[in-house]
Structure 1
Amino acid sequence: MMSEELLTELLEAVPEPMLHLSQSGQVLRANSAARTLLGNWIEGRSYASVLRQPSLLGRIEAAFADGQVGEARLQRTESTGETQYRVKITPIGPPDARGQHDLALYFTDITHLREAEEMRRDFVANVSHELRTPLTAVMGFIETLRGPARDDVSARERFLGIMEGEARRMNRLVSDLLSLSRVESQERQRPADDVDLGAVLRGVIAALRPAAEDQACELAFEIRPAAPTLVLGHADEVFRLKGDRDQLMQVFLNLTENALKYGGRGKTVTLAIGWQQGMGAMHGPVIVVDVIDQGEGIDPLHIPRLTERFYRVDTHRSRAMGGTGLGLAIVKHIINRHRGRLRIESRQGQGSVFTVILPRD
């Protein structure tokens, strides 16, 4: 028979919450994790007064009665949100005269599993919604072209133009979904290629200059004055880092396209690159790129959610401009892969600044 002292030491060695219930239903032992979760007062109390949730209490009563391993859920609501635990109920030790065992209760935090499942459901629902709208439009136009507009040349040309636009929208969505999936699968693999970020930004400006001219916008490129050349060597080496060139190009193409779309016609969009010493978790030198527009700005309420999948400040306007609602989610995952940070600052009526901070090493 295991000694009481050894049993107590074993419970304390378990990092997750764990309780030892006597055959009479008292909490004989609780490890430090269980006391943190349920309170320091629980030892010596009835399990019913400690746990309280009927579904869990019922499963414990069943385990006392039949001596079988069981499982239940415990839900806790705290200031930080709702936490859900899976509770495994295991009979231990010899039975008493009535055939009842002591019970061990082992708590596993499964909140992240529930959140992942909710995210999966939301994602599937969002994708279905995003595809249903253009598909419904295309099917409706096909039906019209086969029926009332069969011989109407002008209507046919107009409808075919709309159908082409909706097909392009679906193609962009599928392309972004594939890109997001690819980026997420690589997120834990930090890239190791040598990349000149200054050259990447110049490539972005060259690629988007025709789009900027269409909106009478100016694309400006600035190198922030700094003294990194004194520390890091020749100026050409200052903005080199370990990264994935194609993905970094995707980040700044996306941010710059957004700045052109929402910055307003005839305004200037600036890409500014600079260097500074990292702070906090980002030690050593970091490269900082600001994408600055002069648009209407973003309500502060929206900023924390901008990188969520399919989140849009103005859904109708975003769709009209060809947005899929996935661009900033892709940007976030690419920056995470590079162990960087994305900072968004905006004031309504004064434009927005999207700042990408990337470690050089």
Structure 2
Amino acid sequence: MKRLWRRELWRLAALVAAGALVGWPFAAVGSGIAVGLALYLFHHLRQLHALHDWLTHRPNQEPPTTIGLWGELFDRLYRYQKSQHLTQRRLRTTLQRIQESSEAMRDSVVMLDSHGDLEWWNSAAETMLGLKPRLDRGQHITNLLRDPRFVNYFHAKDYREPLTLASPIDESRILQFQITLYGDDERLVMARDITRLHRLEQMRRDFVANVSHELRTPLTVLTGYLETYGDMADQLPSRLARGLSQMQAQTERMQNLVNDLLLLSRLETDQGGGDHAPLTLPPLLERVRRDAEALSGGHQRIEVEVTEPRRLAGSEQEIHSALSNLAFNAVRYAGEGRHIVLRWRPAGAGACLEVQDDGEGIDPLHIPRLTERFYRVDKGRSTATGGTGLGLAIVKHVLLRHDARLEIISRPGQGATFRCVFPAERLQTATASDTAQRA
């Protein structure tokens, strides 16, 4: 390219010199130079006109043939144009394949621009969401999906968890929405039909609730007779007395399991919120501490620490249940001689309830599954301690009903911390009576 520029400069110099030589005999050197420059300018204007004509009227044809700097420019533009055409064909082919594959999907796929307006969707979205190709393109997504839960989910931009809603055109169809951010604040909305899964889950919940409820009556009868026989234990043979104590222990364990199943079923089906009120946490923590000490039998040191003065808006029964499950788990699994702390402390703008122990800890491999029903890290040990395997599942659902989350921090040999983190919206300033009660 530098060689071409040097040639162009030499050509300009030659024209100027030739014009000067032609005008010198006539004492018109300046006019000769002007004519030379005019010829040079005319050449470039002609080439510029050829470039404009090519790009405007014949962009897909080969460029005009010329030499020098303009010839190199034409060649470079032509090669760039060919590469752009090839890239565009590849992009169109890729886009077409993406659209064809999206059309083949059973799930709804909706593409939104940075403003949340509809750009493109597949045919499944028309069936599930009722989108119309000619009428809805360019509409904002919340103009078509007006459920307040979807509107809040869309604007919150926290898409880590999917949202489950009924279809806007068929309430019997249950959809699971998942939004993904990409590009320049653009969104991809996917909706999956989970009606069958939803019905199966509802059947499971109904079955567990009904069976648990039906088990209550025979268990109550068994417990009554076993208590009666227990009062007469001194009149029974020693072999029967030992069997009686085992039956009482197992009946009590089954009652605890039934009670936990019924509580979990209620937490899953009932929306809750009717009994929410401002709670003063120190007295609640103290009650749980006393219950945990009774379960421990003095084999562990259990303390309460309160550094958060605000009250928590929630259900006292449910918060007590969640905190009791965490404290009792610490008592059962931390080991003898361990130190357990129940805390109510600030956590960022919100606050958290913590149950911390310095016990054996938990392998991080198990932590993601701890809130599953009946999941046990050590099945034999858990059975021996009398746990039902439902405690952390209950804690999880209680926190969901209080806009909170459960954090579990633990490593083998380093103890465990179970943290219930509540948002600032759930906290209220303590009154004077609360402060006095805490003191």
Indicate yes or no: 2:263 matched with 1:179.
yes
TM norm structure 2: 0.46
* Aligned pairs for 1:341-352 within 5 A: 341-352=405-416
CA distance in 2 between counterparts of 1:343 and 1:123 reads 29
Indicate yes or no: 2:318 matched with 1:269.
no
Task: Tell me the equivalent position of 1:158.
Answer: 242
Overall identity of the aligned pairs, in %: 37
CA distance in 2 between counterparts of 1:306 and 1:255 reads 12
- Change in Cα spacing, 1:113 to 1:286, as seen in structure 2 (3 Å) is farther
Task: Tell me the equivalent position of 1:88.
Answer: none
Task: Tell me the equivalent position of 2:121.
Answer: 32
More helix by share: 2
Q: 2:358 aligns with which of 294, 304, 320?
A: 294
CA displacement at 1:324 relative to structure 2: 0.9
CA displacement at 1:293 relative to structure 2: 1.1
Contact in 2 for aligned 1:190/1:243 (Cα 8 Å): no
Larger mean Cα displacement after TM superposition, 268-277 or 336-345: 268-277
CA distance in 2 between counterparts of 1:251 and 1:339 reads 14
Q: 2:393 aligns with which of 325, 329, 341?
A: 329
CA distance in 2 between counterparts of 1:33 and 1:292 reads 50
Task: Tell me the equivalent position of 1:222.
Answer: 305
Indicate yes or no: 2:256 matched with 1:192.
no
Q: 1:303 aligns with which of 345, 353, 367?
A: 367
CA displacement at 1:172 relative to structure 2: 0.8
Contact in 2 for aligned 1:289/1:357 (Cα 8 Å): yes
Q: Deviations over 1:12-63 (max 9, x none)?
A: xxx9469xxxxxxxxxxxx613499xxxxxxxxxxxxxxxxxxxxxxxxxxx
CA distance in 2 between counterparts of 1:206 and 1:265 reads 17
Q: 1:356 aligns with which of 400, 420, 438?
A: 420
Task: Tell me the equivalent position of 1:28.
Answer: none
Task: Tell me the equivalent position of 2:435.
Answer: none
Indicate yes or no: 2:167 matched with 1:167.
no
Task: Tell me the equivalent position of 1:65.
Answer: none
The letter of the residue matching 1:181 is S
CA distance in 2 between counterparts of 1:317 and 1:122 reads 28
The letter of the residue matching 1:358 is F
Task: Tell me the equivalent position of 2:152.
Answer: none
Task: Tell me the equivalent position of 2:200.
Answer: 117
CA distance in 1 between counterparts of 2:414 and 2:206 reads 33
Contact in 1 for aligned 2:408/2:416 (Cα 8 Å): yes
Q: Deviations over 1:43-92 (max 9, x none)?
A: xxxxxxxxxxxxxxxxxxxxxxxxxxxxxxxxxxxxxxxxxxxxxxxxxx
Q: Deviations over 1:90-131 (max 9, x none)?
A: xxxxxxxxxxxxxxxxx9833363266268559969x99xx9
Q: Secondary structure at the match of 2:122?
A: helix
Q: Which has the higher contact order (CA 8 A, sep 6+)?
A: 1
- Change in Cα spacing, 1:185 to 1:35, as seen in structure 2 (3 Å) is closer
* Aligned pairs for 1:242-281 within 5 A: 242-277=313-348
- Change in Cα spacing, 1:294 to 1:239, as seen in structure 2 (3 Å) is same
TM norm structure 1: 0.55
More strand by share: 1
- Gapped runs of 5+ residues in structure 2? 1-102, 111-119, 126-189, 227-234, 428-439
Q: Secondary structure at the match of 1:290?
A: strand
- Change in Cα spacing, 1:223 to 1:310, as seen in structure 2 (3 Å) is same
Indicate yes or no: 2:295 matched with 1:211.
yes
CA displacement at 1:210 relative to structure 2: 2.5
- Gapped runs of 5+ residues in structure 1? 1-10, 19-30, 37-106, 143-150, 229-237, 278-284
Aligned length: 232
CA distance in 1 between counterparts of 2:109 and 2:295 reads 58
Q: Secondary structure at the match of 1:249?
A: helix
CA distance in 1 between counterparts of 2:316 and 2:236 reads 50
